[in-house]
């Protein structure tokens, strides 16, 4: 069944609401601004460093290609240069990741039907889920359309999907869906403050171990990871944040220990006339 259309609009305030309750939207908005500034500063630093590293790696890889052309395969140094080239390419992949995080890569955005996008990604998603995780894909009743780079959006969804099985080592269920929502001026669940309006979302939910508030406050920071040392760089969710932000969208996360996690990616709807009105 398609997910129900939803609205994140806050309930009407009761006339008897306490003064502290009236301040909550402003307090949340301030937290969003501070978090966005911190993430922007980190992203800019990562982008500058990655740009300089990319220039150095271009030289290293260029000279390694020249050496491999000049050296016969049986030469003792040929194998050493191959190691240099492979290490350089791995470093280049990491640098490209940092460029994405720093929003220094140009997105090739085009109109995307979110339902068709998820259906086209289903085989890859089932590979990522593995045999121990039941995968369900729920498309929207309406053809939600957004402006996004399909390659980068694929990276975002696969990153989120890859995290879910790790949170369910004994198996579980992952639900990936699409839908529409109206975000009000103070959408308290969102990591990034965005203009109010109609949005199309992609959600990734799991029945895993969940996260506490302290972890939720850090998951999008570059190099933050809950994995054992050496098991990951901690850039997956930072990339998700960077790509969604560069696409003009926002991210919402809900999680509690023992209750699983839900990530929702909101993008401005390209067909707002077909979106549900705020309730």
Chain centroid to Cα 128, Å, comes to 16
Q: Which long-range contacts (CB under 8 A, 24 or more apart) does 79-86 make?
A: 84/60, 85/61
The CATH 3.30.565.10 domain(s) of the chain lie at 110-274
Question: Is the model more confident about 52 or about 252?
Answer: 252
The predicted model scores a pTM of 0.67
pLDDT tier for residue 14 given thresholds of 50, 70 and 90: very low
Q: Which of 55-69, 74-88, 92-106, 113-127 has the highest mean pLDDT?
A: 113-127
Question: Is the model more confident about 46 or about 209?
Answer: 209
Burial 100-109 (b: 16+ CB within 10 A, else e): bbbbbbebeb
Average pLDDT score, the chain: 79
| 38-101 topology per CATH | Helix Hairpins (1.10.287)
Q: Is the dihedral of CA 260, 253, 182, 153 positive or negative?
A: negative
Provide mean pLDDT across the span 104-127: 88
185, two tokens? 């001026």
Tell me which of 3.20.20.140, 3.30.930.10, 3.30.565.10, 3.40.50.360 is the CATH number of domain 110-274: 3.30.565.10
The 3-state DSSP class for residue 138 equals strand
The CATH 1.10.287.130 domain(s) of the chain lie at 38-101
H or E element, residue 32: helix 19-70
* β-pairing verdict for 133-138 and 172-183: parallel
86, two tokens? 């492979």
Residue 9 has pLDDT above 60, yes or no: no
Residue 183 has pLDDT above 50, yes or no: yes
CA-nearest of 256, 257, 217 to 237 is: 217
Residue 66 has pLDDT above 80, yes or no: yes
User: What torsion do the CA atoms of 259, 261, 266, 272 make, to the nearest 10 degrees?
Assistant: -40
CA-nearest of 247, 248, 271, 264 to 193 is: 248
């Amino acid at each position: 069944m398609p997910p129900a259309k939803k609205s994140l609009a806050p309930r009407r305030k009761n006339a008897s609401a306490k003064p502290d309750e009236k301040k909550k939207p402003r307090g949340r908005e301030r937290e969003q601004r501070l978090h966005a500034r911190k993430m922007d500063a980190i992203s800019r630093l990562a982008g500058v460093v990655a740009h300089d590293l990319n220039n150095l790696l271009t030289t290293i890889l260029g000279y390694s290609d020249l050496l491999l052309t000049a050296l016969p395969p049986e030469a003792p140094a040929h194998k050493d240069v191959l190691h240099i080239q492979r290490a350089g390419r791995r470093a280049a992949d990491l640098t490209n990741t940092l460029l994405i995080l720093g929003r220094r890569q140009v997105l090739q955005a085009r109109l995307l039907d979110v339902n068709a996008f998820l259906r086209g990604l289903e085989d890859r998603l089932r590979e990522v889920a593995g045999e121990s995780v039941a995968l369900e894909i729920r498309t929207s009743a309406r053809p939600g359309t957004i402006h996004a780079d399909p390659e980068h959006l694929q990276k975002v969804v696969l990153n989120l999907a890859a995290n879910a099985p790790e949170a369910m080592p004994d198996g579980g269920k992952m639900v990936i869906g699409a839908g529409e929502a109206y975000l009000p001026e103070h959408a308290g669940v969102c990591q990034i403050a965005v203009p109010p309006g109609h949005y199309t979302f992609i959600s990734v939910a799991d029945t895993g171990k969940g996260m506490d508030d302290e972890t939720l406050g850090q998951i999008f920071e570059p190099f933050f990871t809950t994995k054992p040392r050496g098991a990951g760089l901690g850039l997956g969710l930072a990339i998700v944040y960077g790509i969604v932000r560069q696409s003009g969208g926002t991210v919402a996360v809900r999680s509690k220990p023992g209750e699983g996690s839900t990530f929702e990616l909101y993008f401005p709807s390209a067909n707002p006339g077909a979106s549900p009105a705020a309730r």
